[in-house]
Amino acid sequence: MLVSLPLTLLGLLVFNFAGLPSIVWVVPAGIYYLIPLIAFLASVGLFRKQSSRNPGHNLGPSLQLRLALAVCFAGLLVLIANGPQLALVWDTQPDITVTFKQPEGSPYPGLYPSKYIGTAPVKGTPRGIENAHLSPGSWFHVAVTWLVILALVGGQVFNGGIFNRPGMLYLYAITIPLAPMFNMLGRYLAWLGIPNGIGALWFAGHPIKGFNIISLFIVALLAVYIMRKKS
């Protein structure tokens, strides 16, 4: 961070005021790409140290949760890479945007329009890549947060401590990463122009995420209620 942030700031300044290519800020910002890469390698157990007394015991969080985290970080590695793709391929000058639809007949992308006229079409446009970069990327971050919390307290909550429902951890290990995966799939299918490809998000991603939000909220309320009653 101490290296990347000052260099990224410097790169953005010279990009905006000196008109240098966008690579001057993309490269230092890319140092942060090591974070999800290291997290992915850690979640698949690359950095884990097995106990010499009982090699099979030191698994930390359940295998299902670690694999679910690995899926999330693998998705983030793809989605985060869309950021530099946008910058290097389309957002090459400070007066060009990939967010707004250009006036009829103008090349895409192009100069900022004089007024906001709606988002650009998805198929084959940088706007579609931006949607994938931002939407499922944010969902994966939420999923990682939920999975880390479950890795820390899920055993006490579901394995007899509060609820005697160990299968719930397995359920969430499946459904939590599935929601952003379907979001990601829908965005990319729409960008490729696949008919009804965005349906993966609408008819699978949104319902699964809705289930996760509602059920985790109910579980948390019940857990607090039961712990308070026991105390």
| 3-state DSSP of 18-84 | CCCCCHHHHHHHHHHHHHHHHHHHHHCCCCCCCCCCCCCCCCCCCHHHHHHHHHHHHHHHHHHHHHH
pTM of the predicted model as reported, rounded to 2 decimal places: 0.83
pLDDT at res. 73:
97
pLDDT at res. 26:
95
Question: For strand 110-111 and strand 96-97, is the pairing parallel, antiparallel, or unpaired?
Answer: antiparallel
- CA-wise closest residue to 178 among 72, 83, 73: 72
pLDDT at res. 63:
86
pLDDT at res. 59:
47
Q: Residue 15, SS3?
A: helix
What is the spatial distance between Cα 211 and Cα 182, in angstroms, rounded to a whole number?
14
Residues of the chain with pLDDT under 50: 52, 54-59, 104-105
97 forms bridges with which residues in the sheet?
Answer: 110
- CA-wise closest residue to 29 among 88, 74, 69: 88
pLDDT at res. 118:
53
